[in-house]
Structure 1
Amino acid sequence: MDLGLTGCGVIVTGASKGLGRAAARALAAEGANVLAVARTAASLDELAAENAAGTIHPHVCDMRDREQVRALAAVAVERLGRLDVVVNNAGIAPAADFLEMDMSLFDEVMEVNVASIAVLSQAAARHFVATGEGGRIINVVSISGILGKATLAAYSASKSAAIQLTRALAAEWARHDIQVNAIAPGAFATEAQSYVTSNPDVLAKRVRKIPARRMAQPDEIGPLVCFLSSTSAKFVTGAVYVIDGGETAKI
């Protein structure tokens, strides 16, 4: 199925590793021009070098800096020639006992996981409205924003907030032909889960909670990202797509 992404301009934040890297690769494979955004230049350069077609363009940005984040829409237009899609994937998940947690860390989680989405989405939407061509925004959230998780109170709260932001913006911007959706991943075998995947006992315990009895591979998020980035999903907005092997479906 041709999703019609050839030549589209896409921003993917948190693209240097994990699900962001997988999303950038999948979109580039569909012919999109991708502005791959992260803090680590070396990892971005490595990602771009893997892409023989030269359609992945690295860009360093600190998602805690609102001016840098706000500028991403203009950077994408300048470097890619157009902007059609934003994939808000960047996020942090520091584990901490909330009784002992310094609230400055809570603020940082909210800044990266919620405020950066709001700032970039607003900048992109203003561009979409100005061009009159609409656009798509995809927010990568988490099942922790649906169920909550001990020692990840700030992360869980931020992802829940991102889900509600997704729904509110979808309702507000549908008349501008802007679709806003979210993807809520469960257990994926990314670098962030290396402690789990490298420890057989911990892995076995984690997998027992998943009806599919396995963790997902990062590239399994790619097809869903590509679908939601395409005009095939133009009547899909305000949705939260859970991709977790059935974990949140069970009692």
Structure 2
Amino acid sequence: MPPASYAMEDLAVWLARFLDAVGIAAATVGGNSIDGLIAIHLALGQPRRVGCVDILMNNASVDASGTYVADLEIADFERALRSNLIGQLICCKHFINHRKQQGGGGKIINTTSVHQEQPRAGAADYDCSKGALRNLTRTLVLEVSELGMTVNNIAPGMVLTPFNQAAIDDPDLLEKEVQSIPLKRAAQREEIGRLAVFLASSDADYVTGATYVMDGGLMQMSGQGA
């Protein structure tokens, strides 16, 4: 396993090298989800290296600004939409057309959040983008099922990735934040990864339009104490 401290870019390089070492062709492509068009063109432009693309996982995201709507800059709201929704839509668009050229099939996995359902003050930018991505997934099911393609969501709660670096670096803060989670801990990224592997596998060929919430029971706390 790679070190837990690896950034996403380092993880991608590590994984590509690991796959090459076991005889599976792999390539990494740098890109920004805000400009997903570039990334998907680069990825789909490497057929000699990796062949056709069978799986698209949209996992890039920016966090909430922490700003209330009354004070929120429209540019900041648009940034969240472009990072968390529009980039994903662009990648889906090009992946679908690529799969059409291959005769159909393929799997799309979108990473949303528990906050697609559970809003927070100061997080309109993030929460709206994740709610919209959830509905993009549901819409795509109606559009691509005839191609034999599946589309699903993973909706994590708190996961110990650089997204939550402050809590990783401060055990007291982490302990405080997990008190609202029934399991009293955050998820490890490998736990989310195992679900993604299932959704990408033939074991999930009949699963589409689903949202898998992985939050340690956090959503069940909504309304408790009222």
TM-score by length of 2: 0.86
1:236 equivalenced with 2:207 (yes/no): yes
Given the alignment, which residue of 121, 125, 141 partners 2:112? 141
Equivalent position to 2:78, from 107, 112, 117: 107
Q: Would the alpha carbon gap of residues 166 and 155 (structure 1) be closer, same or farther in structure 2, given more than 3 Å must change?
A: same
- Partner of residue 62 from structure 1, selected from 13, 32, 46: 32
Alignment of 1:75-86 (within 5 A): 75-86=45-56
Partner of 1:219: 190
Q: Secondary structure at the match of 1:182?
A: strand
Contact (CA 8 Å) 1:149, 1:156: kept in 2 or not? yes
- CA deviation string 1:201-236 (max 9, x = no partner): 322221111111111111111211111001221111
Contact 2:57-2:108 at 8 Å conserved across structures: yes
Paired amino acid for 2:173 = V
Partner of 1:12: none
Q: Tell me the equivalent position of 1:30.
A: none
| Structure 2 CA distance for aligned equivalents of residues 161 and 105 of structure 1 | 17
Query: Displacement of 1:240 after TM fit?
Result: 0.5
Where in structure 2 are the equivalents of 1:8-87 lying within 5 Å?
17=7, 21=8, 44-49=12-17, 52-53=21-22, 55-87=25-57
| Structure 2 counterpart of 1:209, one-letter code | S
Change (3 A) 1:76 1:109: farther
- In structure 2, the CA distance between the partners of 1:76 and 1:137, relative to structure 1 (3 Å rule), is farther
CA contact (8 A) 2:36 2:88 kept: no
Q: Which amino acid aligns with 2:146?
A: R
Alignment match of 1:88 (pick from 54, 58, 64)? 58
**Deviating runs (4+, > 6 A) in structure 1?**
none
Alpha-carbon distance in 1 for matches of 2:77, 2:115: 16
- Partners in 1 of 2:39 and 2:28 — Cα distance? 14
Q: Which structure has more strand as a fraction of its residues?
A: 1
> Is the 1:169–1:180 contact (alpha carbons within 8 Å) kept by the matching residues of 2?
yes
| Match of residue 217 from structure 2 | 246
For structure 1, the 5+ residue unaligned runs are: 1-15, 22-39
Is the CA contact (8 Å cut-off) linking 1:73 and 1:120 kept in structure 2? no
TM-score (norm 1): 0.78
Aligned to 2:181: 210
Q: How many residues align?
A: 214
Query: Structure 1 residues 194-203 or 210-219, which shifts more?
Result: 194-203
What amino acid is the match of 1:71? H
For 1:62 and 1:239, locate their aligned partners in 2 and report how far apart those are by CA, in whole Å: 27
Which one has a larger percent helix, Structure 1 or Structure 2?
2
Residue 136 of structure 2 corresponds to: 165
5+ long unaligned stretches in structure 2: 1-5
Q: Which residue pairs with 2:3 in the alignment?
A: none
Identity of aligned residues (%): 31
**Cα RMSD for the two superposed structures:** 2.1
Distance 1:136 1:43 in 2: 22
Higher relative contact order (CA 8 A, sep 6+): 1
Contact persistence 2:85–2:132 (CA under 8 A): yes
Q: CA-to-partner distance for each residue in 1:96-150, whole Å, 9 max, x for gaps?
A: 3133222111111111110111111111111212221411000011111110223
Q: Distance in 2 between matches of 1:237 and 1:247?
A: 24
